[in-house]
Homo-oligomer: A and B are copies of this chain.
Amino acid sequence: MELLEQRILKDGVVKAGNVLKVDSFLNHQIDIGLMNEIGKEFKRLFSDIEITKIFTIEASGIAIAAITAQYFGVPLVFAKKSRSINLEGSVYSTRIESFTHKRVYDVIVSKKYLSEDDKVLVIDDFLANGCAADGLIDLIDESGAALQGVGIVIEKGFQDGGRRLREKGIRVESLAIVDSMDDATGEIVFRH
């Protein structure tokens, strides 16, 4: 997605440890106009398949997924990083290791909001080693819902999450795939 790649080149910052900071427009401050274009692009890419729910994980995927859900005309469900006393009762659960936060989370979704009747599109801001996507797919599998695809804003193509998911036959559409980046020079190379 040209608009997104240009924005990453303009405002993204490469940091040591394979960190790409895009918090000026994607996951701390959020450019809603850009999110609208991202939402429309996901709808265009997945226009040929039926979707009944958009599914993401708190927190940084929520804004993107909410805006995207508008274009599909379906509800958004987000998986929660556990511990809420408001979520007693029956949930599907899994564990996700966070690259960003260097810790393991228990992640849950209420059984009421994913069922075997659902056709689910996973939306998230980043795909790197794929741990978050794996966790969301675990929850979808537990529920019996159908995974229709995974829509990612920025895929780190030099980590193996995208390859692993595609090898399993999962349809992954990433709006920008970074093949390499260099924190010394700031260079970012996209896959085309």
Contacts and interface: CB of A to CB of B under 8 A. Distances in A.
Interface in A3-43: 15, 17, 19, 21, 23-24, 28-33, 35-36
A67 B69 CA distance: 10
Given A28-B113, A66-B67, A113-B29, A101 B75 contact: no
Give the interface SS of chain A, mostly helix, strand, loop or mixed. Answer: mixed
Interface stretch (A76-84, A147-155, A157-165): A76-84
Interface of A: 15, 17, 19, 21, 23-24, 28-33, 35-36, 58-59, 62-63, 65-67, 69-70, 73-78, 80, 83-87, 100-102, 109-110, 112-113
6 contacts: A23-B110, A28-B113, A30-B69, A30-B77, A33-B73, A83-B101
